[in-house]
Amino acid sequence: MAISEHLQRISDTLRELPPRYKDGMRVPARIYATDKLLAGMDETVLQQISNVAGLPGLTEAALCMPDGHFGYGFPIGGVAAMDVDQGGVISPGGIGFDINCGMRLVRTNLTHDEVRPYLHRPADRLFERVPAGVGGTGLIKMSRREFADVCERGAHWCVEQGLGWEEDLLVTEEGGKPSSAPPTAAAGR
């Protein structure tokens, strides 16, 4: 029986794979999708999100967003909240191993017509400065000790090095310095 046949319809946009679907699931797996999107979703996505539902400390359910697609362990678009007091874990697989791979939205008062003639300038600069792709490396080389310092002080370190402005800290989550994240808590590798 195909995994999709185990899905229960909660609403027009929500399906649920109950924990009894397979051994190891601790909570339900819930998939947000319309019929159309669900039809285009690979069975491997459903398998992956049901695997996520077996992680310890998960609260309520493992969720898959409507754009869910096959990932590394977690599906891309998978969401899981862990409760540390319930044995929750940090799962690097949950973010596809590219920590801080994210979205940035920068607003400008410039119009499209104003930007258009000069668009190549910021694009070329980003291309030069931002390491990207397999084998890409950064501009900064540092020792292990310096690295621990960066982990400890986050974006403040960057500002001190002239790599950012004070104002940047104001618009960064937790002021660019996550509390209660001592680097010594992590393994050496």
Partner 1 sequence: MSRSKARKAWQGRSLRQQLEARGVYIRSRSDKGLAEEAGGAYKQIDDVVEATRLAGISKPVVRLRPIGNVKG
Beta strand pairing status for 62-69 and 14-17?
unpaired
Q: Does the footprint of partner 1 cover residue 97 (CB under 8 A)?
A: no
Q: Does the footprint of partner 1 cover residue 136 (CB under 8 A)?
A: yes
Query: H-type helices in 15-99, by residue range?
Result: 35-39, 43-52
Structure tokens at 140: 């900064």
Query: Chain centroid to CA 157: how far?
Result: 23
Q: Does the footprint of partner 1 cover residue 72 (CB under 8 A)?
A: no
Choose among 23, 37, 25: nearest CA to 15.
37
The residue within the footprint of partner 1, chosen from 32, 55, 75, 78 (CB under 8 A), is: 32
- What size, in residues, is the chain? 189
Print the binding letters for residues 76-95 with partner 1: x by CB under 8 A, - otherwise. Answer: --------------------
| Stretch of 86-94, 121-129, 137-145, 147-155 contacting partner 1, by CB under 8 A | 121-129
Structure tokens at 84: 């540390």
Q: Does the footprint of partner 1 cover residue 103 (CB under 8 A)?
A: no
Provide the β-strand partners of residue 122: none
- Judged by the rule CB under 8 A, the positions of this chain that interact with partner 1 are 11-14, 32-34, 36-37, 40, 65-67, 69-70, 112, 115-116, 119-120, 122-124, 126-127, 130-134, 136
